[in-house]
Structure 1
Amino acid sequence: MIYPQNAVEKLGYTEIKALIQQKCLSEAAKEMVSKIQPQVKLELIDRYLRQAKEFRDLLQHDAPLPVDHIYPIKALIEKAKVEGAFLFEEEFHRILLSLRTVYAIIRYFNDREQQYPHLELLFEHLPIEKNIVRSIEQVIDERGKIKDNASRLLLDLTQQISKSEQEARKRIDSIYKQAQQNGWTADGSLTIRDGRLCIPILAENKRKLKGLIHDESATGQTAYIEPEEVFHLNNKVRDLEFEKRREIIRILTELTSLLRPHVPLLLAYHGLLTKLDFVRAKALFALDIDAEMPELSKEAEIRLINAKHPLLSLAAKQEGHAQVVPLNLKIDATDRVLLVSGPNAGGKSVCMKTVGLLQLMFQSGLLIPCDPTSKLGLFKQFFADIGDDQSIDSDLSTYSAHLSKMKYFTQFANARSLVLIDEFGTGTDPQFGGPIAEAVLEVLNKKQIRGVITTHYSNLKLFASHTEGIENASMLFDNTAMKPLYILQIGKPGSSYAFEIAQNIGLPKEVLHLAKQKIGVQQKKVDTLLVDLEREKKEVYDTKQAINLREREMLSQQTELNSLKAYLEENKQKLLKDAKEEARQIIKDANKLVENTISEIKQVKADKEKTKTLRFGLHKAAESLTEKKKENPVKAQAVAADESIEIGDWVKIIDTGNEAQVIEIAKNNLILALGDLRTVVKKTKVEKLRGKEKAKAVKKSRPISAESVADFHPEVDVRGMRTEDALQKLELVLDRAVMIGYPSLKIIHGKGDGILRKFIRDYLRKYNHVSRFEDEHADRGGDGITYAYMD
């Protein structure tokens, strides 16, 4: 229930519905929009919201829905219900186009089964009755005219008419030429009079040509005569045309009779088109205002995060103004009522109207401009006191109108009521208006109502500060720049900044001085205290924001440090294990070499030259074990001079000769990937690989198996994903395609506004292994799909 009824207009709800109606393609959908009302069943609201969200996602990320022909066919279907009635050719053509649209829509969603489950509910169990379309197509052509071969008789009559017309034309041309030769004709050529082809004859010669005079010129000098011979031929054509018309009516009547048993199904089709048009309009409007679907709650609560007034957002977009300042607030069982104070033109009323309008839209199944983490509940009553409702007819003053609403609120409000009051208590002497407003607020608070109330009265601010369930809030004001900030701050009342604003406007100093002397000392102290509190709280808020930013930076650094320690610990154990294994292998090889050498010495019976040769070989093997250490200083110097190592580069570890890829850079350290192993190495201990060496390292680190090629799918679907996630997924698939040598990749990103497509193609241009890319064929998705080809 909404009280009073004009509250929907004052909150802007009527204007919202008018904007949605502009998005509709059919009158039936516009009528549905006009009947939108707030709902009180959570399941119904949830379904409406999800339908709008799914359609919005469809418009953004999927191929366009085929809604080219949505005609108002309900009246035609009702006409076809009447026994003996028939539809005209153009009416059948409209039904044909509408049915084709319906079937295209059903096929569209069948191809995307379970992708839009709540939209699919709109046409659940609706069959595609192709016989209806087939029957109409046999009679009506693509121009909406009846086909000449709709029946044998119609075809025969059409041919006879054509033949008779040709004969009549041929005959009148012959008579006309003869009359011209005789000098009987006037200037001009054959002309139409009364639907008949006539010859212009000079008045003095009209008795010389037998025939029917249909007309004469304004001067009377020319008579328009249809020759007697042609007259009989034209009559024959006219008779044939009447017969053809009777045959057409017979065919249309027969076709209408074939349509009549399908009237219930046709009405269901009409309902589907209307509902889809209706949901489409809601989704298009949601895109205009950047709307989202908030979380739903069964409780009477409101938690708005970065919410904006939709009408203000639209106006700002159209006029190119700065962005609307978002609103953040919470109304629940603990803080039931927000008492908003602050300067004039500071945004108090806009704050209150935003809450009321967004709640009305939400309960009407409309997406709202806020973060999706916002949470809204259910209210069964909406009470609003906004503006001046004085009435001469009802003998109501401004204050009387306010009081009559307060009377209604206090009688019928409850815990499921959302109460919105603007400038509470105004309209009468503040000395009496303030206490009355405080008493009304106390009664409403006892009834556990939820609401937003704006005021300038100090007694109400004081009452809220020590009353459970009522929370003070204020609209921030920059008292240095003397301008409102339009930011809602919960927890404290706000000053009206009356003297500051008056001084800024330029009110004479003597007037301000007199005014300050006239206000009470206590009131002046309270207002000064509020101003000081607001300034101090702003400073505290700014400091807190800076501290929070610093804390986030420190947490990020701590996480990075812990990650680095984990890498070091993990690789320390791995390297020790590898080193021990390598040492064992060296000892084993050395022992084997020594044993072989001793054996060969024995075989040559300690021959001096042979023994010398064998000892030299043993010495060379020993030297080879330390050869790499001697090379390290030279290579280290070369690498130190190379400062171009970046993430993704391939390097060679000088100490071990292993090849690895750089996955992170931390000052002078590199975090490298050795297959599944991670290690940390100084920049000076690596050598950057280029050209063929890099290609060999990549190939060696990623061995390709037959199984990996078989498992690879050269297609990636990123529709509905955020740009960052989409590019990350694309990078993984592209890397694997390059690794296994796959020639091309199909990327499905949808059309929408083309933003995701732009980022993907920019990324492909920078990817070294992509030689070119192109759109899919127009019949199979067009620029909603990109093919990338690898070199």
Structure 2
Amino acid sequence: MIYPQNAIDKLGFTDIRNLIKEKCLSEAGKLMVEKIQPQVKIDQIDRFLRQTQEFKNILQHDAPLPVDHIYPIKPLAEKAKIEGSFLFEEELYSMLRSLRTVYAIIRYFNEREGQYAHLELLFEHLPIEKSIVRSIEMVLDDRGKMKDNASRLLLDLSQQILKSEQEARKRLDTVFKQAQSNGWTADSGLTIRDGRLCIPILAENKRKVKGLIHDESATGQTAYIEPEEVFHLNNKVRDLEFERRREVIRILTDLTSELRPHVPLLLAYHGLLTKLDFVRAKALFAIDIDAVMPLLSKEADVNLVNARHPLLFLNAKKGNQHPVVPLNIKIDGTDRIILVSGPNAGGKSVCMKTVGLLQLMLQSGLLIPADETSTVGIFKQIFADIGDDQSIESDLSTYSAHLSKMKHFAGFANARTLVLIDEFGTGTDPQFGGPIAEAVLEQLNKKGVRGVITTHYSNLKLFASHAEGLENASMLFDNQQMKPLYILQTGKPGSSYAFEIAQKIGLPKEILEAAKQKIGVQQKKVDTLLVDLERDKKEIYDTKKAVIRREKEVEELKAKYESLQAYMEENKKEIIRTAKEEAKSILKDANKLVENTISEIKSVQADKDKTKEIRLRLNQQLDKHTSDLKEKVVKPKIADVGHVELQIGDWVRIEDSGSEGEILEITKGSSLIIALGELRTVVKKNRVTKLRSKEKSKAIKRLGSLSTDSVADFQPEIDVRGMRTEDALQKIELVLDRAVMIGYPTLKIVHGKGDGILRKFIRDYLRKYSHVNRFEDEHADRGGDGITYAYIN
């Protein structure tokens, strides 16, 4: 499928495999990564991708998968398969810990049945055989050592050994003290020689102590003697230890025989652990490069949206280079071959290698760093001609190596082949290399191949401009600042900017002028035209960005205007309704007032002075009604900054959050400093609405009760273990906001250890939270990095 085989190295796929290997927990998983190869069956590729995507979801949003202990089960099962063999204690202990991991994993997915359908296929129909674990646990203790009560005989032998050792030590101490009192011993205490406890006796006294001499000091002044009284007891202990060892081997042999019927199941468990380790490594790498699963297509098409070269992306994350500019490229039945031209160091080769590497990754079941809207098809062959492949042994020059590949491409390529060629036609005289490259390109185009080809040759650019199925593209270049933009634009070829780059580097002017005279007039015109086209394309690109920005601003202004108009209409209806009610009330009061006045005039029988006084009271009542009406007219509430007069002390509501507070300060700009209880915040004027008196009273009452009750109710510890990342961050945010509001100094966040994914997201969030001064791990004895303490300023 891949030709030549070293294309995998040149495209960077070997480096990708090595990075994934570093994520593996087991050697079997690393070996599986080594065997990753591009596949051609779409169902198989789809399954591999979905398994990786599901594991990525587990790492980012679910409780950690229990993969603490992964030891190779296969070699132990193979050894146990042999009749008469037995597994050592440490081997059985490794198997026990791996089996516990397997059972924990199976239970994990059983609890989430149907949630990770493609991962569940890895251990479909695998049972939890608890009898294996029970058999091993009956023999081994928690440290992986043989239990003394593994059998009655073993317990009896262990007790006899302990008793005999105590008796031997007791007698040895007695002899040693007696020898010390007689002045026979050297200055040092009891010592071990040949595995036996001995007394250091001065050489001149060695005949005074009966026993076996095991050793002498380098000077010969001290002899190390095992006393005769202890010698027989130590021999007894040695015999008992031999018997105990024989019993241990018998128990291990019986246990291994008990495990032998389960060897096929043990091998299946090994396969599950290996595959999960493999998929986990792929998912961890996908997280590192922000990779996703694109749309798969049965057609041999490629449509990459915001794609990034994974190796360059990782370097950029480490700060070793500038941020990676995303690549957008489309290869389909209409534009089958993209011919990329442009300046040196402008990104042509990176563009081509990005397409090739992401294609290899996807067909190998790896997620790719691009938008989810990207579409990638499946190719049965990937041919690449990258770099210098000259070979002294094979008597191949650089150009001969290129021609050898072109021969293979022309002979075996078809419509399901992706062809990647870097610097097409170079390596020989351009006068001949150009036409040969054009003829090869024409042949490849007739075969309907897909591909990306980079070149500087003008004849290839001209051929692509009128040949069906070929599309010119160029890497944008800022010819004012003389720097590449690393943006691919299709439709027009690009200039090599040879003279411009040479001038920037500082090549003497006379050399440049001489060079310009030597190239053909027509070629010079073509290159000048291409430079002008690049300049126009850059201006159009900048103009397009400016237009998009202006359109966005217009849309925002339009939305604000419509919102304001709707608000005005709503207030207009409110004013009319209130006015009608007031008018009804005034008419009712006025009628009553007039009737009372007439009645009073009649009662005084139209006396002139009394009538004048009554009329004066009537006028005063009318004036009072008029002033009350003016006060009661509802003024429309305008949310726009230009129409609201806000003052220090006013109470307002923040529109997007619904929070209510008092204005403490109005800055020279268009911002307000607002008190939300103990919390202070800064917002723009156009984001707030002034509260009416009733709303203000309710807000003051609500904040007052909050400030008095918060400290008593507040819990400065939050447990988010097992929660999805989004839910955990949301819960932490609520508690943090409340802690800041009531002035609480610290917050304890229990998130667990696992793979550290949840801990990473939580700490990234705390770094961005302005009121968190610092954070640190809990003490190692009380949870370590499974708990984070956040200190609030």
What TM-score does the superposition give when structure 1 sets the normalisation length?
0.80
When residues 422 and 728 of structure 1 are mapped into structure 2, their CA distance, relative to the original with a 3 A threshold, is same
In structure 2, the residue matched to 1:642 is: 647
C-alpha distance after superposition, 1:444-474 (max 9, x if no partner): 1111111000001000000011112111111
Amino acid at match of 2:235: N
In structure 1, the residue matched to 2:234 is: 234
**Is 1:306 aligned to residue 306 of structure 2?**
yes
After TM superposition, give the deviation of residue 643 of structure 1 in Å: 6.8
**Partner Cα distance (1:641, 1:206) in 2:** 107
RMSD in angstroms over aligned alpha carbons? 4.7
C-alpha distance after superposition, 1:219-269 (max 9, x if no partner): 333332222221111111011111111111111122222222222222222
In structure 2, the residue matched to 1:424 is: 424
In structure 2, the residue matched to 1:408 is: 408
After TM superposition, give the deviation of residue 585 of structure 1 in Å: 8.6
In structure 1, the residue matched to 2:441 is: 441
Candidates 746, 755, 758, aligned match of 1:752: 758
When residues 636 and 491 of structure 1 are mapped into structure 2, their CA distance, relative to the original with a 3 A threshold, is closer
Is the contact between residue 339 and residue 454 of structure 1 (CA under 8 Å) also seen in structure 2?
yes
In structure 1, the residue matched to 2:347 is: 347
**Partner Cα distance (1:101, 1:186) in 2:** 56
**Partner Cα distance (2:101, 2:149) in 1:** 26
In structure 1, the residue matched to 2:491 is: 491
Is the contact between residue 494 and residue 530 of structure 1 (CA under 8 Å) also seen in structure 2?
yes
Is the contact between residue 295 and residue 376 of structure 2 (CA under 8 Å) also seen in structure 1?
yes
Counting only pairs closer than 5 Å after superposition, residues 335-484 of structure 1 correspond to structure 2 as 335-484=335-484
SS where residue 485 of structure 2 aligns? strand
After TM superposition, give the deviation of residue 760 of structure 1 in Å: 8.3
Is the contact between residue 652 and residue 689 of structure 2 (CA under 8 Å) also seen in structure 1?
no
Amino acid at match of 1:84: G
In structure 2, the residue matched to 1:205 is: 205
C-alpha distance after superposition, 1:551-570 (max 9, x if no partner): 22222322333344455556
Is the contact between residue 122 and residue 272 of structure 2 (CA under 8 Å) also seen in structure 1?
yes
**Partner Cα distance (1:40, 1:364) in 2:** 9
After TM superposition, give the deviation of residue 583 of structure 1 in Å: 7.5
When residues 617 and 62 of structure 1 are mapped into structure 2, their CA distance, relative to the original with a 3 A threshold, is farther
After TM superposition, give the deviation of residue 150 of structure 1 in Å: 1.4
**Partner Cα distance (2:789, 2:41) in 1:** 41
SS where residue 134 of structure 1 aligns? helix
Is the contact between residue 96 and residue 133 of structure 1 (CA under 8 Å) also seen in structure 2?
yes
**Partner Cα distance (1:206, 1:326) in 2:** 88
SS where residue 453 of structure 2 aligns? strand
When residues 323 and 762 of structure 1 are mapped into structure 2, their CA distance, relative to the original with a 3 A threshold, is closer
**Partner Cα distance (2:588, 2:262) in 1:** 91
When residues 617 and 302 of structure 1 are mapped into structure 2, their CA distance, relative to the original with a 3 A threshold, is farther
Is the contact between residue 640 and residue 684 of structure 1 (CA under 8 Å) also seen in structure 2?
no
In structure 1, the residue matched to 2:220 is: 220
When residues 180 and 128 of structure 1 are mapped into structure 2, their CA distance, relative to the original with a 3 A threshold, is same
C-alpha distance after superposition, 1:379-427 (max 9, x if no partner): 1110000111122222222111111111111111111111000110111
After TM superposition, give the deviation of residue 183 of structure 1 in Å: 3.3
SS where residue 648 of structure 1 aligns? strand
**Partner Cα distance (1:647, 1:352) in 2:** 57
Is the contact between residue 339 and residue 454 of structure 2 (CA under 8 Å) also seen in structure 1?
yes
SS where residue 370 of structure 2 aligns? coil
Amino acid at match of 2:10: K
**Partner Cα distance (2:693, 2:523) in 1:** 76
In structure 1, the residue matched to 2:744 is: none
Is the contact between residue 636 and residue 686 of structure 1 (CA under 8 Å) also seen in structure 2?
no
**Partner Cα distance (1:161, 1:716) in 2:** 49
Is the contact between residue 418 and residue 451 of structure 1 (CA under 8 Å) also seen in structure 2?
yes
When residues 753 and 342 of structure 1 are mapped into structure 2, their CA distance, relative to the original with a 3 A threshold, is farther
**Partner Cα distance (1:447, 1:718) in 2:** 54
**Partner Cα distance (1:639, 1:544) in 2:** 37
C-alpha distance after superposition, 1:626-683 (max 9, x if no partner): 7753435899999946377686269xxxxxxxx9999xxxx99xxxxxxxxxxxx9x9
When residues 729 and 272 of structure 1 are mapped into structure 2, their CA distance, relative to the original with a 3 A threshold, is same
Counting only pairs closer than 5 Å after superposition, residues 497-576 of structure 1 correspond to structure 2 as 497-566=497-566
Is the contact between residue 594 and residue 618 of structure 1 (CA under 8 Å) also seen in structure 2?
no
After TM superposition, give the deviation of residue 343 of structure 1 in Å: 1.3
Candidates 690, 699, 710, aligned match of 1:694: 699
Is the contact between residue 193 and residue 214 of structure 1 (CA under 8 Å) also seen in structure 2?
yes
In structure 2, the residue matched to 1:42 is: 42
When residues 52 and 168 of structure 1 are mapped into structure 2, their CA distance, relative to the original with a 3 A threshold, is same
Give unmatched runs, 5+ long, in structure 2.
606-610, 638-642, 664-668, 671-685, 705-718, 742-748, 773-777
SS where residue 208 of structure 2 aligns? coil
**Partner Cα distance (1:260, 1:573) in 2:** 88
After TM superposition, give the deviation of residue 158 of structure 1 in Å: 0.7
**Partner Cα distance (2:180, 2:554) in 1:** 106
**Partner Cα distance (1:547, 1:588) in 2:** 59
When residues 175 and 641 of structure 1 are mapped into structure 2, their CA distance, relative to the original with a 3 A threshold, is closer
**Partner Cα distance (2:87, 2:22) in 1:** 30
Bigger CA drift: 179-188 or 85-94?
Answer: 179-188
After TM superposition, give the deviation of residue 319 of structure 1 in Å: 4.3
Is the contact between residue 721 and residue 750 of structure 2 (CA under 8 Å) also seen in structure 1?
yes
After TM superposition, give the deviation of residue 159 of structure 1 in Å: 0.9
SS where residue 239 of structure 2 aligns? helix
In structure 1, the residue matched to 2:177 is: 177
Is the contact between residue 586 and residue 625 of structure 2 (CA under 8 Å) also seen in structure 1?
no
Bigger CA drift: 620-629 or 530-539?
Answer: 620-629
**Partner Cα distance (2:365, 2:247) in 1:** 51
SS where residue 244 of structure 1 aligns? helix
Bigger CA drift: 240-249 or 365-374?
Answer: 365-374
Amino acid at match of 1:460: L
C-alpha distance after superposition, 1:590-644 (max 9, x if no partner): 89x979x99xx9xxxx999xxx9xx999999999987753435899999946377
When residues 720 and 227 of structure 1 are mapped into structure 2, their CA distance, relative to the original with a 3 A threshold, is closer
Amino acid at match of 1:273: L
Bigger CA drift: 270-279 or 31-40?
Answer: 270-279
Amino acid at match of 1:302: V
SS where residue 752 of structure 1 aligns? helix
Amino acid at match of 1:207: R
When residues 407 and 579 of structure 1 are mapped into structure 2, their CA distance, relative to the original with a 3 A threshold, is farther
Give unmatched runs, 5+ long, in structure 1.
651-658, 669-680, 700-713, 739-745, 767-773, 787-791
**Partner Cα distance (2:767, 2:391) in 1:** 63
SS where residue 390 of structure 2 aligns? coil
Counting only pairs closer than 5 Å after superposition, residues 211-360 of structure 1 correspond to structure 2 as 211-360=211-360
Amino acid at match of 1:9: D
% same residue: 68
C-alpha distance after superposition, 1:500-531 (max 9, x if no partner): 22222222222222211111111111111111
SS where residue 206 of structure 1 aligns? helix
What TM-score does the superposition give when structure 2 sets the normalisation length?
0.80
Is the contact between residue 303 and residue 331 of structure 2 (CA under 8 Å) also seen in structure 1?
yes
After TM superposition, give the deviation of residue 103 of structure 1 in Å: 2.4
**Partner Cα distance (1:478, 1:293) in 2:** 34
In structure 2, the residue matched to 1:149 is: 149
**Partner Cα distance (2:722, 2:582) in 1:** 50
**Partner Cα distance (1:10, 1:478) in 2:** 29
When residues 633 and 439 of structure 1 are mapped into structure 2, their CA distance, relative to the original with a 3 A threshold, is same
**Partner Cα distance (2:771, 2:301) in 1:** 49
**Partner Cα distance (1:243, 1:722) in 2:** 61
SS where residue 758 of structure 2 aligns? coil
C-alpha distance after superposition, 1:250-297 (max 9, x if no partner): 111222222222222222222221112111211221222222222222
Is the contact between residue 751 and residue 757 of structure 1 (CA under 8 Å) also seen in structure 2?
no
**Is 1:719 aligned to residue 753 of structure 2?**
no
When residues 758 and 380 of structure 1 are mapped into structure 2, their CA distance, relative to the original with a 3 A threshold, is closer
